[in-house]
Amino acid sequence: MPGNVTLNTRKIVILGSRSVGKSSLVKGFIDGNFSEAYYPTIETTATKTIMYNGTEYPCEIIDTAGQDEFSQLKSQHAIGIHGYVLVYSIASRASFNMIQIIYDKILNYSGLSEIAAIIVGSKADLNMDRQVDSMDGQALAQRNNAAWIEVSALQNRNVGRAFELCLAEIEKGNAPPPSPARRQGGCVVM
C-alpha cells in the first residue's frame, strides 16, 4: 500500500513448503473464505489492519510461492521484513522439516541472530493423517524462540490468532528500550 505507509506499518512474510495452506491461511484471514481448489501461488500481497495492545497496525502480508530445500530465499523476503509466519502441514513431516531450513536461511541471509516468527501447524482438521505431534511443533518453536500455533483454514480455527501472535512477536522486539537509556562513557547505548 504505497502512499499509505505509516510508522506502524508492518511487513509479514508467509513461508513454507508447497501446498501446506499458506494462501488459504491468508485468504481466511483477509476475507474469511476457504476453497478446496489449489492454485500454486507466485506471490501476492494483501493488507489488513491488526489490533495489538490497543494500537492499529496496518500489515502488508506477503504470500509466497512454496519453498523446498533448494529454493533460494529472495532478498525481498529477508530484508525489511518485520515478522514471519512459517507454515507446515500437520499431515506432512517433510513440510515440518522444511521449517528449520527456512528459518536458518532467513538468519543467514539477513545476518540477524533472531527474527520475529510464528511457526504454524496448518490443516489441524486432518488429525487422522497427522504426521507431526503438537509437542514437536512446540519444541521446534521453543528452540528458535518463536511462537507456535495449530490452525485450520478449512474450519476457520485460530486463523486470526496466528497473525495476532505474529504481531505480538514483532512488537516484543520493538519494545522501547528501558529508560533512562543506559549511558557508557558519554554514549547512549541503543
Ligand X SMILES: Nc1nc2c(ncn2[C@@H]2O[C@H](COP(=O)(O)OP(=O)(O)OP(=O)(O)O)[C@@H](O)[C@H]2O)c(=O)[nH]1
* CB of 135 vs ligand X, minimal distance in Å: 20
Kindly tell me which residue out of 40, 111, 176, 185 binds ligand X, with binding defined by CB under 6 A.
Answer: 40
- With respect to ligand X, which residue has the nearer C-beta, 52 or 118? 118
Please, which contacts does 23-29 make with residues 24 or more away whose CB atoms are closer than 8 Å? 23/63, 24/122, 24/153, 24/154, 25/85, 25/87, 25/120, 25/122, 25/151, 25/153, 25/159, 25/162, 26/61, 26/63, 27/153, 28/153, 28/156, 28/159, 29/61, 29/159, 29/160, 29/162, 29/163
Residue 21, interface with ligand X (CB under 6 A)? Answer: yes
* CB of 79 vs ligand X, minimal distance in Å: 21
Residue 82, interface with ligand X (CB under 6 A)? Answer: no
Residue 10, interface with ligand X (CB under 6 A)? Answer: no
Kindly tell me which residue out of 38, 43, 76, 133 binds ligand X, with binding defined by CB under 6 A.
Answer: 38
Taking a C-beta distance cutoff of 8 angstroms, is the pair 76, 65 a contact?
no
Contact footprint for ligand X (CB under 6 A): 18-24, 35-36, 38, 40-41, 65-66, 122-123, 125-126, 152-154
